[in-house]
Amino acid sequence: MTKPIHCVSTVCFTLLTICGNALTLADRRPNVIIIYTDDQGFGDASCLNPDAKFQTPNLDRLAKEGITFTDAHCSDTVCTPSRYGLLTGRYSWRTTLKKGVYGAEKTCLIADGRTTLPSLLKQRGYATGMVGKWHLGMDFPGDRNMRDWSKPVLDMPLDKGFDYFWGIPASMNYGVLAWFEGRYAKVPPTEYTQKKPNKIALADYRIKPPYDKQLSKPGTTSDLGVVRGQLEIAPDFVDAECLTRFTNKAIEWVQGRAAAARQGEPFFLYLPYTSPHKPVIPIDQFRGKSNAGAYGDFMMETDWHVGRILEILDREKISENTMVIFTSDNGPETTWKERAKKFSHQSNGIFKEGKRSIYEGGHRVPMFIRWPAKISPASQCNQPVCQTDILATLAAITDNQLAANEGEDSFSFAPVLLNPNARMNRGPMIHHSASGGFAIRDGDWKLVMETPKSKRQLYNLATDPGERNNVLQQNSGVAQKLHEQITEIVLNGRSTTGPPQANDTPWWNHLIWMDKF
């Protein structure tokens, strides 16, 4: 085992009190809302893309009234591992999930006892709620051939720190599809369906009635729990209703907490939307409103729902001390290529590739934070941050001290919220592709590690953000240092300072640049 990396992790609370506008417990703890979109690229926010073929006025409002992170990254390039990293402050590749995503039914990737954003904030008296898409695994009663929906769902959000859950288990193409509240579906998923054609969007599908009463063929299940074949579905489930239902329930929950919040009893809401992930199905009032086809219309609808959340905060007079964090789980789906050709809209902005990719388009995502009580309007941070850093940041703000086995890959950016020019002193960041590939980012340098199908590459993102020019041969010393850093980060079980922690598995075959351990 190598020595811990000597880089600053969570900025300690006492250091923050030096700042002129310090975050202290004398201040009321903020309410926190995380709005998490699904497959939204960096170029799908009009304030980040001057050539966007649609407008996102509510995302632009967050940027205007808060801080924009121009170099923000999800911790992986697909759904399940990014959500794990966001909620735990730990890279998902340290778990048993080395590539790809889960289906709906699987042992939850977040182990019992693992600190999460909601469990952390509960320690400081927060009410915690989640509305939306989970996609981290659930334990349903029985199997798909013989269910008993009178029994509770286990190993799900209510077991990972949330007081309240309303939503769906995973992406719609994986089933089990019903409107779950708590551990039960009001209308159980007792019918079956398959993906149906979606004529309004590029290479897309629908999940809509009519549904089948009987399971006609069993389908196959991968080792990650992904079912291929018919999906279990509730007779009242319709894909196009997700965003409206999620936003309605989120508003209802916030209204129920607003009076207590005004009295200093804060809440945390996690609101992971299903858009603009397939199926791309904007509601009628947005059809044809963009210049980027159904996808642009869908993004406009998504933005409208964000505005509805901001409106309820204003109406309940809790906007001032509510931190709204907006970001996406990964870059845009591969349909971005056809969208660029047909509509001249670049969902990935100026960056290379998109969802699943190790390149910037796969993991550089929009990120805005608004907190009127503390954050200066129209601020901008150009330092690299990762969604894993949100855990340490909220820990610092709420005076929670992280233990050695909590948020192992989480660095606080709390000082940046007060002063965008403050230095984070963040350690190197690890990027991870859907196929299991690795890259390391430190400062302006990004080293893409070799795989069985590709060679090692080095990019200077300050001069080449589009990753067009591999400068490995001219900078062998930089590459060697980054090689040593990524090896150390993997071996130590953490990116932050502190005692080494165990990964959940020994060496695996994606680490081809390392000796077995």
Q: What is the CATH number of the domain that holds 364?
A: 3.40.720.10
Structure-token pair, residue 268: 């945390």
Please state whether 182 falls in left (phi above 0), alpha (psi between -120 and 50) or beta.
left
Question: Has residue 387 been placed in a domain?
Answer: yes
Q: CA-CA distance, 266 to 59, in Å (whole number)?
A: 24
Q: CA-CA distance, 282 to 297, in Å (whole number)?
A: 6
Q: Which residue would you say has higher pLDDT here, 229 or 337?
A: 337
Residue 144 has pLDDT above 90, yes or no: no
pTM: 0.94
Question: Has residue 25 been placed in a domain?
Answer: yes
DSSP character at residue 265: -
Please state, in angstroms and as integers, the Cα–Cα distance from residue 453 to each residue in 98, 291, 437, 514, following that order: 17, 38, 10, 17
pLDDT band for position 222 (cuts 50, 70, 90): confident
Contact (CB, 8 A) for 286 and 348? no
pLDDT band for position 220 (cuts 50, 70, 90): confident
Question: Has residue 457 been placed in a domain?
Answer: no
Contact (CB, 8 A) for 294 and 206? no
pLDDT band for position 25 (cuts 50, 70, 90): very low
167-195 average pLDDT score: 96
Looking at residue 27, what is its pLDDT?
Answer: 66
Question: Has residue 246 been placed in a domain?
Answer: yes
- pLDDT tens-digit series, residues 28-70: 899 999 999 999 999 999 999 999 999 999 999 999 999 999 9
Q: Is the peptide bond before 499 cis (omega within 30 degrees of 0)?
A: no
Looking at residue 226, what is its pLDDT?
Answer: 77
Q: Which residues pair with 232 in a beta bridge?
A: 192
State how many domains the chain has: 1
Question: Has residue 49 been placed in a domain?
Answer: yes
Task: Tell me what the pLDDT averaged over the chain comes to.
Answer: 94
Question: Has residue 370 been placed in a domain?
Answer: yes
Looking at residue 390, what is its pLDDT?
Answer: 98
Residue 21 has pLDDT above 80, yes or no: no
Looking at residue 46, what is its pLDDT?
Answer: 98
* Share of residues in the chain with pLDDT > 90 (%): 90
Residue 230 carries which side chain, given as an amino acid letter? Answer: Q
Q: Is the peptide bond before 4 cis (omega within 30 degrees of 0)?
A: no
Residue 18 has pLDDT above 80, yes or no: no
Nearest to 89 by CA among 321, 429, 358: 429
Contact (CB, 8 A) for 333 and 78? no
Looking at residue 276, what is its pLDDT?
Answer: 98
Q: CA-CA distance, 402 to 496, in Å (whole number)?
A: 11
Render the burial of 410-426: b for 16+ CB within 10 Å, e for the rest: bbbbbbbbbebebebeb
Place of tokens 């350690």: 427
Q: Which residues pair with 327 in a beta bridge?
A: 36, 367
Question: Has residue 234 been placed in a domain?
Answer: no
178-187 average pLDDT score: 97
Question: Has residue 452 been placed in a domain?
Answer: no
163 lies in which domain range?
Answer: 13-172+239-418
Residue 22 has pLDDT above 70, yes or no: no
- pLDDT tens-digit series, residues 113-141: 999 999 999 999 999 999 999 999 999 99
Contact (CB, 8 A) for 316 and 258? yes
